[in-house]
Amino acid sequence: MMSYYHLPLFLGVLSYVFWSLSFLMRKMFPLRLLALASSTCAIFYFSFYLDEPLWLNIFWKLAFTFINLYQITSLIIERSQASFQDEEEELCYRENFSSLSIMEFRKIINVGAKISAPQGFCFTEENVKVKSLVLITKGIASVKVKDKIIAYCRRGNFIGEMSLITGLPATAAVEALDEVHGYQWNAESLKTFIGNHPELRKELQAIFNKDLVVKLLQSNLA
Amino acid sequence: MAHVIFLLFGNFAYLLDCLSFSMRDMLKLRLIAIASSLSGMVYFFYHSLWLNVTANGICTIINIVQVGILLYQKRELTFDNVLEERLYHKVFFDLSPHQFKKLIQSATFETVEPGALLFEEGKHPSFLAIVAEGVISIISGEKEVAYCKENDFLGEMSFITERPAAATAKAVESTSFFQWKRNELKVFLEKEPAIKGVLNDQIGRNLIIKIN
């Protein structure tokens, strides 16, 4: 049977077990929970194992506990807010961003803004640096090279993603043929966001690739 | 005095711990973690906390082994042939030498004669390939719509969309390429997210070149 003497030691061992397990986690939420469990056990261990509490360790473990509690709370709040604002947003998620979690999708959407561009609006100009990325949710835009229409961008197509990927000026002019609705992201803000969220960079590239395939098919058929 | 010095070791261990968490470079992270666990060992040794001394000792050993593995993986790359070397410098330069070796070892190197059919319109290509040498004609219906040359991907559209090929691919001249079996590559990439990211980037760039 475990005596009072052995309990703090057991908690000390348990704190290392939780700590080791946390390194095996790939998702942030279980990782934080295990880290929290580890530091909580360690606080009891450092408080009761020796005759005198080890304040240095207790202080640091308390700091880690608060950090993890804060992060867990933030994650829970983020998750609770992970819902769609309207039908258009939900459709946009299902059609273009379904490889992301709703929470990740919301993060990306929050960096951009909804737009409504009138007929004739110029999204990009040939050989001019692209300042923003646009995703069309409604309407049609023409893609022109030397004033000749070579393709059309419709619902689910991105505008400006090629320049965003290559860093080069636009290779074509894109103009709204009727009122175009969609989402717009400032290129620099999006680049900063991607830099801060490397895990989303890969997913976004995969989403762009799907759109590029559609565009390549169109250009082959033209 | 001794008490203060050991207290410093204790604080230093935790500070290094925090610093290691902010690192993105794995080698730096491991090195700082080693310094942290060694400092921790000194501090816990002073307090005769053998559980912690042992745990920190195990951590140090694990991290030393990991540093050794990382340094081994970073050693200079030797290429099997000129085509492999060119592929690394022109397409997969964002991969570490070790990652590139892993990717290329999962591929096979194939050479086909002029007129060889690589995949047919309406059928699922079983592979993703990248042309190393030669020219491949892309035919949609009866019409030749494009050519795939050196460093162009082949079968990437079906690889992305999971749909049948939108065109037929036929070798115009003797053509060599690195080829990955589609299903095997997908399993491989799930285990290697960093390589998957670079491969996606390069497929995207190649698609843009093809569109333009």
* Facing B10 at nearest CB: one of A56, A162, A171: A56
Q: pTM score > 0.80 for this model?
A: no
Q: Are A115 and A182 in contact (CB under 8 A)?
A: yes
* Facing A202 at nearest CB: one of B49, B156, B193: B193
Q: β-pairing, A113-117 with A180-186?
A: antiparallel
Alpha carbon of B105: minimum distance to chain A alpha carbons (Å): 23
Distance of alpha carbon B92 from alpha carbon B69, whole angstroms: 22
Reply yes or no on whether the pLDDT at A81 is more than 80.
no
Taking the Cβ of residue A150 and every Cβ of chain B, the question of whether any pair is shorter than 8 Å is answered with no
CB contact under 8 A, B211 and A162: yes
Alpha carbon of A193: minimum distance to chain B alpha carbons (Å): 17
The mean per-residue pLDDT over the stretch A35-60 comes to: 93
For A84-126, how does the pLDDT look when each residue is reduced to its tens digit (9 = 90+)?
888 888 888 998 899 888 888 988 999 999 999 999 999 999 9
Task: Give CA angle at A36 (A34, A39), nearest 5°.
Answer: 110
Residue A3: the pLDDT is 60
Residue of chain B nearest A198, judged by CA positions: B197
CB contact under 8 A, B157 and A57: no
How many CA atoms within 13 Å lie on the side-chain side of B181?
Answer: 6
CB atoms within 10 A of CB B14: 20
For A129-177, how does the pLDDT look when each residue is reduced to its tens digit (9 = 90+)?
999 999 999 999 999 988 889 889 999 999 999 998 888 899 899 999 9
Q: Are B176 and B132 in contact (CB under 8 A)?
A: yes
Residue type, B189: L
What ipTM did this prediction achieve? 0.73
- Partners of B7 on chain A (C-beta within 8 Å) are 56
Exposed e or buried b for every residue in B114-135, given b needs 16+ CB within 10 A? eeeebbeeeeebebbbbbbebb
Reply yes or no on whether the pLDDT at A12 is more than 90.
yes
Alpha carbon of B154: minimum distance to chain A alpha carbons (Å): 12
Distance of alpha carbon A206 from alpha carbon B193, whole angstroms: 12
Residue of chain B nearest A151, judged by CA positions: B211
Tokens read off for A16: 């290392």
Alpha carbon of B204: minimum distance to chain A alpha carbons (Å): 5
Nearest to B59 by CA among B22, B23, B20, B98: B20
CB contact under 8 A, A216 and B160: no
Beta partners for residue B177, in sequence order: B110, B131
Report the percent of chain A where pLDDT is more than 70.
Answer: 97
CATH code 3.30.70.2200 for A87-221: no
- Partners of A13 on chain B (C-beta within 8 Å) are 51
Distance of alpha carbon A1 from alpha carbon A211, whole angstroms: 65
Distance of alpha carbon A102 from alpha carbon A104, whole angstroms: 5
